[in-house]
Every structure is written in structure tokens, then in C-alpha cells.
Amino acid sequence: MPSINTKNMSFEKALRIFRKKVENAGIKDSVREKEYFEKPTAKRRRKLKSAIRRQERERAKEEAYWKDYRKLHKRR
């Protein structure tokens, strides 16, 4: 659990630092996930869709790279 020593610090600054530590620790995301029940099939479907989107982004980035590469290095 994130904690802060606030001896010579204003409350607002300490709160900002604490929020940043909580965000980096991933506590906020885990609380949002546990906020409601998600069926196991829905969880698998969500993870599969995110994996597909990630692969499509990587493929598009690679295709753009090779398209630019071909333009720059035309064979004569």
C-alpha cells in the first residue's frame, strides 16, 4: 500500500503525490475491475479483442514502415 511522510508538506501536495503513487501501483484499475462481476466468457472475449487490436496496430505500423522504406530505397 502506498504511503507518504508529510512532515513539512502541504496537504494538497501530499494528496497529489499519494494519488500518483496509487495510480502507478495499479490499485485504481484493480478496484474498477472488482466493482462489478464479469462473466468468465466476457473476460476472455474482452482480452481476445484487445489482443487482436494490439496485433492490428503492430501490423499497421510495420506495413507503414516498409511502405516508407520502399519509397526511400527504390531499386534503380
| 11-58 residue pLDDT tens | 999 999 999 999 999 898 889 888 999 999 999 999 999 999 999 999
pLDDT (0 to 100) of residue 76: 53
Is 42 a domain residue?
Answer: yes
Q: How far apart are CA 53 and CA 50, in angstroms?
A: 5
Q: How far apart are CA 70 and CA 22, in angstroms?
A: 46
Q: How far apart are CA 28 and CA 1, in angstroms?
A: 12
Q: Average pLDDT, stretch 44-73?
A: 93
- Residues 9-36: b if buried by 16+ CB within 10 A, e if exposed: eeeeeeeeeeeeeeeeeeeeeeeeeeee
Domain span holding position 44: 11-72
Is 33 a domain residue?
Answer: yes
What pTM was computed for the model? 0.53
Is 2 a domain residue?
Answer: no
Is 66 a domain residue?
Answer: yes
**Total tally of structural domains belonging to the chain:** 1
Is 36 a domain residue?
Answer: yes
Is 1 a domain residue?
Answer: no
Q: How far apart are CA 19 and CA 11, in angstroms?
A: 12
Is 6 a domain residue?
Answer: no
Is 39 a domain residue?
Answer: yes
